[in-house]
Amino acid sequence: MAKRLLSLSVVFLLVIATLLGCASSNESANSSSNGEEDRSKGEAKKEKNGGVVNVYTSRAYETDQELYKLFEKQTGIKVNVVEGKGDELMERLKIEGEATEADVFITADAGNLYVAKESGLLQPIESETIFNNIPDKYRDDENYWFGITKRARVIVYAKDRVNPSDLSTYEALTDDKWKGKIVVRSSENMYNISLLSSFIEVMGEEKATEWAQGIVNNMARDPQGNDRDQAKAVVAGEADLAIMNTYYIGLMLNSNDPEEVKVGKSVGIFFPNQETTGTHINVSAAAVTKYAKNVENAIKFIEFLTSEQAQGKFAAVNYEYPVNPNVEPSELLKSWGEFKEQDIDLTVLGKNQQQAIRIFNQVGWK
């Protein structure tokens, strides 16, 4: 009897084990099926939304944010943005390497883009849309970066103390009559490095050195502050002239700060070298990063930024000159007049950087 009971118990346990095994198998199968279903839904949702594009940018303008939202609305591609200074973002790209999530790098100054390219942080792209939107002179000669806006580095003068007819060229700023009357940013500023790099190209190194020395001799104070601070110094009477970028005047004239508006109205803009080599211009530009995970979306994003729609927004709200020839400057920019640009390949702004830095150090431009 005991033996029979033992046999029945063994059979009962085997049945229970079999049932549990089947339940486990069904649960595993359902789990696997649900997982695949969730993944499929996720992929479908991503495809429906157009995916993402991750942007590292040194441009912290409301205009840019508005354009990113417009791009999202038109394409369904989500734009994720990381803001920072250009050199810091380049260092981050170096550290992250292949693991970076960045697809697009945007920064001001062709000199910075040259450094990014030479550091192996970018990749060339092919897009007939971009090629049609942006003239050769505003993009890298190997298609590593593309200008999205341009700005001129001009002479800004005090309207109440300077007659613009007394102004002519960058070189004339070294004349003794301007001694103690010029303010300008530090030699470490990329805008000034690129300005001098352009002079090395059009004047030669010797003349460029003479120019830098002449500016140092005529400075009203040691270099300090940003471009807006130079205009403020002129209006405050610390100097009569400043070297700065045009769009800062546009931003000041339309600022919410009454003092900045007052400064903007008190200074005039003069485009130098109209009878000779032309006024220095530079760009903000966009590039696809070397290890971009969303290259197709990155290209679509840059195509959008170079489109007539986006270029018009840059010009109207941020007071930068469009690089797309089909887009006219804003009314404010038109009021400053047309001007002749330097006729140089912008890549030389990067190639001549080290020479420019040596010259600045040599002449004592702080």
- How far is the C-alpha of 231 from the C-alpha of 266, rounded, in Å? 9
Query: How many Cβ atoms from other residues are within 10 Å of residue 310's Cβ?
Result: 24
Establish whether 61 is an annotated binding residue: no
Q: Per the structure block, which two tokens stand in for 1?
A: 């009897």
Cβ neighbors of 248 (< 8 A, separation 6 or more) are 227, 228, 231
| 144 assigned ligand-binding residue | no
Helix 295-305 / helix 62-75 crossing angle, nearest 10 deg: 120
Count other C-beta atoms under 10 Å from residue 358's C-beta. 12
* Angle at the Cα of 67 from the Cα atoms of 63 and 70, rounded to 5 degrees: 140
Please list, residue by residue across 334-346, b when 16 or more beta carbons sit within 10 angstroms of its beta carbon and e when fewer do. eebeebebbebeb
Q: 302 CB contacts (<8 Å, ≥6 apart)?
A: 104, 125, 127, 130, 146, 148, 286, 288
Q: What is the CA radius of gyration of the chain?
A: 29
The Cα–Cα gap between 141 and 346 comes to 9
Annotation: binding site for Fe cation: 247-248
Annotation: binding site: 247-248
